[in-house]
Amino acid sequence: RTLLEKMFAVDRDVRKGKLVKHLTKQKKEEYYSSFKILPQNSEKDGPDHIDAEIDRGFVIEGSALAHFLDREDEPLLEELLFCVASNCESVIACRVSPKQKALLVKLAKHFVQPTPVTLAIGDGANDVGMIQEAQVGVGISGLEGQQAVNSSDFAIAQFRYLQDLLLTHGRWNFMRLSKVVLFSFYKNAVLAALLMIYSRAALYSGIPLFDQWALSAFNFVCGWPIIFLGMFDRDLSRVYVRDHPHLYAAGINNEYMAMRTTVRWIILVVVHANLIYFFCASSLSGGGVQSSAFKGQMHGTDDDVGDGDGGGIKIFGTTIFLVLNWVLALKVLFECGAIIHGRWLPFKCCVKNAAEGFWSRTAYTWHGVIVLSIAFNFFFLYTYQLIGEDGASSFSSFVHVTYHLLHTRVTTWLAVLLATTAATMTDVIGKVFSNMFYPTQTQVHKEVEILKHKKKNTEERTVFDLGESGVV
């Protein structure tokens, strides 16, 4: 382990040199062969010792629990019960009352450190107290009524669906929500950082950088890709997660919202804000000499002197707004674990024998980034300009801004290209460096899944080619 691993690796197993779960059995034997095994020198080290790795079970009845739980005169009895139960692989409590079920959940919440996230599952009215006491309650709809379902956070039809609820959908949603939370703070922090950098250039005069209506549309224009990221993102397939249930530990180990992950996002805020602002600063500093040769003042067709120069604060602020929209939209693509391409045309689902419906053929990721974010931003800017031409109003200050910004100033497109590329490359370089030298276990399993998928496709292609040639 290096100092960089200890400081920057998000996965705690990487920092402690324990990332060997992804290795094959042969590689694991080679890895562990370098460690010396100490001989057993006493009976204390034997397999029958109380501390040996032996699976234990604990069974207790409700009548016995009554002597341990909720005893105000003997509070140590609860701690004693928990100490015994915590040293067992499984605990079975039978013939217990609804109150005792809730007290058992409370027991785990009180004595386990750090405080765990408890889950309780039940199918009847006697499980309501337990379900309400746990942080996550799951109700099973069955023959015993709907009381448990009505009191729960999630409802399933059969107990076997709990595996998909936790290992698949629960893991996916925790990963999605973590990205949405971090991305939402990142998005607004970059906007605030741009205003802070600009305020120094404006001598703290209070002159706004962005147009008021453009700023009002910021969350709507830049929010759609984040919404789709939080709805459809998947880092690993359902089958792979089901075959490797230990991947669920990524949420328990706080892999997605670790302090090191948060620090990375904070660094990106500072870097992206400075790159966007200073790459776009030329849009204001150059003034009228940046008019396009094909349109504007240099074309020689404008009757009004100076028309087409467009070096005002509106141009400067809207250029930064445009670049910021592009950077945020592209970053969503890099944060996605799976880009949903869909099938074109999605309306082809109406054809006979089509296996998929319209909603399954829609390219949600690309529609969110290209249509609802980037394209809609251009639509908003042109519409905003046209509304201001109807008469004096709060929209009048934006008249011809979009035209000068996009049609008569080549530096706008140059700033969009350079600033977006620079900000994107810093993000890509950081991700590549992190994934190569300090990968998380989730990243390792992503690569393992891709290799298995490629191997399977190669084998299928080989069998198909042999069948075509008549060998098989």
pLDDT over threshold 50, residue 38: no
Is the separation of the CB atoms in 19 and 13 below 8 Å?
yes
Q: Using alpha carbons only, what angle is made at residue 381 by residues 380 and 384, rounded to the nearest 5 degrees?
A: 80
pLDDT over threshold 70, residue 371: yes
pLDDT over threshold 80, residue 346: no
Is the separation of the CB atoms in 322 and 209 below 8 Å?
no
pLDDT over threshold 50, residue 380: yes
User: Residue 14 and residue 115: Cα distance in Å, rounded?
Assistant: 24
**pLDDT tens digits, 104-113:** 888 888 888 7
pLDDT over threshold 60, residue 472: no
Instruction: Please state, rounded to an integer, the average pLDDT across all residues of the chain.
Output: 79
309 in helix, strand or coil? coil
pLDDT over threshold 70, residue 307: no
Arithmetic mean of pLDDT, 177-202 = 92
Arithmetic mean of pLDDT, 136-147 = 85
Structure-token pair, residue 445: 């399993």
Structure confidence at residue 203 (pLDDT) = 87
Q: Which residue has the higher pLDDT, 339 or 129?
A: 129
pLDDT over threshold 70, residue 467: no
Is the separation of the CB atoms in 235 and 337 below 8 Å?
yes
Tokens 């006697």: give the residue.
Answer: 126
Parallel/antiparallel/unpaired status of strands 57-61 and 154-156: unpaired
**pLDDT tens digits, 399-415:** 888 887 887 777 888 88
Q: Using alpha carbons only, what angle is made at residue 167 by residues 162 and 170, rounded to the nearest 5 degrees?
A: 85
**pLDDT tens digits, 156-178:** 888 888 888 888 888 889 999 99
- Among residues 36, 379, 43, 453, the alpha carbon closest in space to that of 214 is found at 379
pLDDT band, residue 39 (cuts 50/70/90): very low
pLDDT over threshold 80, residue 207: yes
Least confident of 33-42, 87-96, 248-257, 437-446: 33-42
Alpha helix ranges (H) inside 87-117: 98-111
The contacts of residue 257 (CB under 8 Å, 6+ apart) are 178, 181, 182
pTM: 0.78
How many residues in total does the chain contain? 472
- Stated as kind and residue range, the H or E segment containing 94 is strand 90-94
Q: Using alpha carbons only, what angle is made at residue 62 by residues 56 and 63, rounded to the nearest 5 degrees?
A: 115
pLDDT over threshold 60, residue 20: no
- Among residues 130, 59, 140, the alpha carbon closest in space to that of 101 is found at 130
Arithmetic mean of pLDDT, 378-400 = 81
User: Residue 98 and residue 5: Cα distance in Å, rounded?
Assistant: 49
Structure confidence at residue 191 (pLDDT) = 94
